[in-house]
Chains A and B, each alone.
Chain A
């Protein structure tokens, strides 16, 4: 029996830290059998009551299994764990796929489930023929092949990538009934490995007149964004690997620009050109698309950062509660400015809050998993999460967000991008039957 010194007593385990059954996060921090016992004590008698059926030897233990594929894919019983597609018939427009956050755990998005937005299809790029050019206000314009980059010193880091249009359904004046995948599925997180852009810029020799650079892709739209040179010299990376394997085609194979914390569209995929320039291009992508009209007055442009955000992934719409009793509330928090410092969770629509446990390590500009023990008593509740980062930013309430940024006059399509960069609190309502729906509170 593990020694229980240092773990909370049963009385402390019962400690409710906020309304409607939120328990102290200590209940999650114990180890092994002792922790299981504590959670059990918190629940009281078994929630199901009836005894389990006698155990039998199932058929898969009585025969030979399948052969081993060269590249393994998920169990057929997990075939629902897939992205949703905005353009399944491949009409002449952008194709968008969204990450199923409610069916995933931890902090790394599997490569097959990383969100993608491609505007003219996914290019099939021969890595041997791909060329990456750095030129403009440099002393020596240089061309890099993939083979050359593979010989450079590399770094690995976790980073989320989030579309500036993620969470856009929350600009609706009424809560659009959709799941977390539809509302927040345009954010994903991976471990990226590649070459620091600063090394390559240093080899090219930066002309002091350079203040910006443009980054351009090799695919049909030749997507181009203007980026401050300071960001390029800070933590920008030419990413070659995604969660340990070469980039997925939809995520920019064979190389992409990674700008940790910056708007997804600026992380130019299929990267083939960087040009140092004295001023921004004001390209289509930074004029027509990723700008924000405001309720009145001028519009925002150069909305570089994805600001601090969190949302609960379990429970969430589609993951209804079968019965009262113990649940772990689990969710994702991230900030384009730095590390998550705190996530608070409410089960009473924001009247009272308890601090969630943060899964260590907490990386900068990457997903952080938060967890909160909860004992649901079967009555209607409203679940919310709210995140803070170590740069002093915090996630706005819906009222605060609408006061600053406005909201639409009528409910839009869940697929529409009627504005960008929404990071308000998300609310899930749980009714007395355990059904979970999107709500405003």
Chain B
């Protein structure tokens, strides 16, 4: 049975003042506390298992139209790649490709033959693309583009709706294709 004194102690510990009192007084403590709701715009990482995927959904058909408008200038029609840039340098990578991985040549890596997880595709499109206008896509648009690229690569059925639940369940063909280079440095 909790005593009155014990209840009072719990209340003190739960207050913000208690947090401040609990910190190392020899440390500067110059960070500003922030509420989780106020970091939402930045809180964008998606983990390999799909943790962090937002609400929303999209289909390959929706994605095709967005891709043609916002992506194909660099990645080519249907994500099949473009010719070399004016300088002769490699163009941005083709997103849709049925080539096989062969030996140690990393230029043969594709989403279909290499990526172990599907949620990072959503993560990367949302954080970095389009190249000239990053973070301009809505979550719905990102789901639609993710669906389109996976469907064109024949990883998912073209009719499948992609959302947080279905994207987390997509099993990429090369899921088990990796070994950590330094197992002793991997967290346990």
A contacts, CB < 8 Å to B: 86-89, 91-93, 119-120, 133-135, 139-145, 148-149, 151-153, 171, 199-200, 202-205, 211-212, 214, 216, 220-224, 228-231, 272-273, 275, 277, 279-284, 287-288, 291-296, 298-305, 405-409, 412, 415-421
Contacts and interface: CB of A to CB of B under 8 A. Distances in A.
Contacts of A409: 103, 105
Contact of B104 (A133, A135, A140, A293): A293
B6 interface: no
Contacts of B101: 293
B83 to A, nearest CB: 13
Contact of A86 (B28, B29, B89): B89
Interface in B152-188: 176-182, 185-188
Interface in B24-78: 24, 27-34, 36, 39, 42-49, 74
Given A228-B186, A281-B120, A288-B114, A92 B132 contact: yes
A143 to B, nearest CB: 5
B85 interface: yes
B42 A293 contact: no
Given A281-B45, A420-B106, 10 more contacts: A143-B34, A205-B23, A220-B134, A222-B135, A224-B123, A282-B120, A283-B123, A287-B115, A288-B111, A409-B105
Nearest to B93: A288
A272 B104 contact: no
A406 B105 CA distance: 9
A277 B47 contact: yes
B105 A92 contact: no
A212 B30 CA distance: 24
Q: Of residues A299, A304, A407, which shows the largest number of chain B Cβ atoms within 10 Å of its Cβ?
A: A299
Contacts of A281: 45-48, 120, 123
A140 B19 contact: yes
A92 B74 contact: yes
A293 B127 contact: no
For the complex of A and B, 6 pairs with smallest distance between CB atoms: A142-B31, A282-B48, A211-B187, A148-B30, A284-B124, A303-B181
B128 A120 contact: yes
Q: Of residues A304, A405, A421, which shows the largest number of chain B Cβ atoms within 10 Å of its Cβ?
A: A304
A303 B28 CA distance: 35
B42 to A, nearest CB: 6
B48 A300 contact: no
Given A140-B19, A221-B128, A222-B127, A200 B105 contact: no
Contacts of B109: 288, 291, 293
B33 to A, nearest CB: 6
B187 A228 contact: yes
A293 B134 CA distance: 29
A203 to B, nearest CB: 5
B86 interface: yes
B178 A298 contact: yes
